[in-house]
Structure 1
Amino acid sequence: MKMAYPNKPNPDDRSDNVEKLQTMVQNTMENMQEAEETLEFSNAEERAKIEAKNERRKESLNSLRSEIEDESQARQNGFQE
């Protein structure tokens, strides 16, 4: 009979977090731009939804940029698992 071992979490690999976060920022900015371009073809209800979503995206961008700073600082400080 085999012994069951509890699931072991994967090690925390932060080596490429800054790059992943930067990609997320770029994608979010592109999505915001695309949404802005659709505003002229939108009715009032759609426009309100798009504008609200872009506001949430702006908040996300601020959080992502803050996280990039944190991860960059951790990298400079030689983060080791």
Structure 2
Amino acid sequence: MAYENKPKPDDRSDNVEKLNTMVENTIENMNDAEETLQFTDGEERARIAAKNERRKESIAAMKSEIQDETQARQNGYQ
């Protein structure tokens, strides 16, 4: 029996919305982590702070991608 492995077509129609949701969720996670900091100390506090720094970097990258996707959408994804 032969299987045809066809790639799914590139559907970028909702990328901006998905990325916006991801940014919102990441910000919410950062805020939750910041609230947790008042109950932690030492290594755990350092881990949370480091993770939030990585989250900030991710947010910046996602916002850049949102700009790219918005531009691509305006240009008809060509």
TM-score range, shorter chain: over 0.9
| Structure 1 residue matching 2:5: 3-state secondary structure | coil
**Alignment partner of 1:17 out of 15, 18, 24:** 15
Please name the residue that 1:73 is paired with.
71
Instruction: Give the equivalent residue in structure 2 for 1:63.
Output: 61
Write out the 4+ residue segments of structure 1 that deviate beyond 3 Å after TM superposition: none
Task: Specify every segment of 5 or more residues in structure 1 that has no aligned partner in the other structure, as ranges.
Answer: none
1:35 aligned to which of 28, 33, 36: 33
TM-score, normalised via structure 1 length: 0.91
Q: Deviations over 1:14-73 (max 9, x none)?
A: 000000000000000000000000001002111000000000000000100000000000
Q: Which has the larger radius of gyration?
A: 1
TM-score, reference length from structure 2: 0.95
The count of residues paired between Structure 1 and Structure 2 equals 78
Determine the C-alpha separation between the residues in 2 that align with 1:27 and 1:11.
27
Q: Which runs of 5+ in 2 are unaligned?
A: none
